Amino acid sequence: MTQTRQSGEEPVGTVARPKTAVLAEKVPIRRIILVTLSILIAAGVLVGSWKTLTLTEGRISGAGWRDFLVFGVALGSIYALIALGYSLVYGILLMINFAHGEVFMVGAFASYFVAQSLETAGLLDRNPVLSILILLLAATAASMAVAVLLERVAYRPLRNAPRLVPLITAIGASLFLQYTAASFFGSDSKGYPSIASLEGTWTVLGIPVAKTLVLTIVAAVVMLVGLTFFITRTKVGKAMRAVAEDKEIASLMGINVNRVIVITFGVGGILAGVAGVMFALVFGLVQYNMGFIPGIKAFTAAVLGGIGSVAGAALGGLILGLVESVAPVLLLAGIHVPAPNQLRDVVAFSILVLVLIFRPGGIFGSSEPERG
């Protein structure tokens, strides 16, 4: 679902281009800063990795790197699932649904309460497969409901407002949902009930992998395949693509645009719900503000892969998860930065900033920044 709206404004762009070129010649500060920045980063990455890999003491073993990679893939799958929600909505409405991280949080909370009941009922240990299906069902239902409600209450009245207006509303919605959860359910972090048959590891391709991570990766792949099928093969998916191309023409073709938008939010919510369960299973905790940082990171993933595209969001999530899991140690341990994992978020946010500065269209998209 790529956005082709920009090409319609070509005449305006061509008129402005000479002017921009003149300005760029007059003020080369930006170019200078960008070039210096990229050289510095490249040098830092090379030096850091070289030093870490040639460390004499405190060297990280092959098994250590392997674990980082596996964890990165699992984390990336979660990011990818959330990122799809951003991407789908952006593809259609051209707006950043800032509160999407909270949709994910609601899913995790719903599954937490159900898991608690299942634990007391003993079903969690007796029939883990059925329990996990129930958990997924509860989480996706809750997330979908919140996502649809969000669209109805906060975004639909602003469909034609200036661009910053829905973004500010979305920030408000994010805050509102977080603190609603805090006052409804309490602001302490809650330990997720552990599922006995998900403890320990499975051997996949000769590598021992924690069972929760395997489950996460499998769930993400299943959801991705399902989503691709939904978008490319079903009538509703076709309608979604049509609305993403051009809302007005789509509505002239008899597509109920509002309904498609609601469905898009719903689908994004379902994916976020699955991500919520997986996140809770992997990290074992739910808290009211758990959605904020993963939400921003997932947005980073969506932009990284090119916002508006399904494959891009998946790939972006994977890359971000891997980089976040490997890079802090790889780049910083060698130059003797204490506790490099504290700087994990810095790595993720730096990627966000760098991608938006250098390639706002995503690493597979164009480097021309969108304006508007």
Partner 1 sequence: MTGSELRARAVRAGLVGAVGLVYLALAGMIEKFQERNLIGSFLTLGDLLMALPPLLAGYVGTRPRLVAGRLEAAAPRAVVTVGLISGAIVGGITAAGVALVEALPEGAVRRIFIQVSPELLSILTFGQGVPVGLILLVIFGAALGGLGAGFRLLPQRVGRPIGVGLATTLTFALLQRIFPPLLFELGLDTRWLYSPTLLGLTVPGALVVFAISAGLTVLWSARGPAVRERVEQLPPDRRRLLNGTSLLLLAVALVLLPQLIGSTLSQVLGTVGIYLLMGLGLNIVVGYAGLLDLGYVAFFATGAYLTALFTAANRVTSIGDLVAPEFVLSLNFYLAVPLVIVVTAFVGVLIGAPVLRLRGDYLAIVTLGFGEIARVLVQSSWLQDYTGGPQGLRDVSDAAIGGVGFRDPQPFFYLVLVFCALAIFVSQRLAGSRVGRAWSAMREDELAAEAMGVSTIKFKLLAFAMGAAVGCLSGMLFAVQIGSIAPASFTILVSITVLAIVILGGMGSIPGVVVGTLLLIGLPGLLDEFEEYRLLIYGAALIMVMVMRPQGLVPNVRRMRELQEDEAAQDQWLKKEEAPAVTVGGGGAS
Chain residues binding partner 1 by CB under 8 A are 12, 15-16, 19-20, 23, 27, 29-30, 33-34, 37, 95-96, 113, 116, 153-154, 157-158, 160-169, 171-180, 182-186, 292, 296, 299-300, 303, 332, 337-339, 342-343, 345-346, 349-350, 352-353, 356-357, 360, 369-372
The nearest distance, CB 168 to partner 1, in angstroms, is 5
Give the pair of three-digit tokens for residue 149.
Answer: 């409600």
Q: Which of 179/202 has CB closer to partner 1?
A: 179
The nearest distance, CB 200 to partner 1, in angstroms, is 30
CB 362 within 8 A of CB 312: yes
Q: Which residue has the tokens 């991280």?
A: 101
Conformation bin of residue 198: beta by default, left when phi > 0, alpha when psi is -120 to 50 = alpha
Q: Which of 150/219 has CB closer to partner 1?
A: 150
The nearest distance, CB 139 to partner 1, in angstroms, is 15
Q: Which of 95/239 has CB closer to partner 1?
A: 95
Q: Which of 236/337 has CB closer to partner 1?
A: 337
- How many angstroms separate the first and last alpha carbons of the chain? 20
The nearest distance, CB 18 to partner 1, in angstroms, is 11
Judge residue 65's burial from the number of C-beta atoms within 10 Å of its C-beta, 0-12 exposed, 13-18 middle, 19 or more buried.
middle
Q: Print the SS3 string covering 215-271.
A: HHHHHHHHHHHHHHHHHHHCHHHHHHHHHHHCHHHHHHCCCCHHHHHHHHHHHHHHH
Question: Distance between CA 191 and CA 193 in Å, rounded?
Answer: 6
The nearest distance, CB 21 to partner 1, in angstroms, is 12
Question: Distance between CA 149 and CA 144 in Å, rounded?
Answer: 8
On the CB side of 139, how many CA atoms lie within 13 Å of its CA?
30
Q: Which of 64/157 has CB closer to partner 1?
A: 157
The nearest distance, CB 19 to partner 1, in angstroms, is 6
The nearest distance, CB 213 to partner 1, in angstroms, is 25
Q: Is 286 helix (H, G, I), strand (E, B) or coil?
A: strand
Short-list 257, 222, 292, CA closest to 77: 222
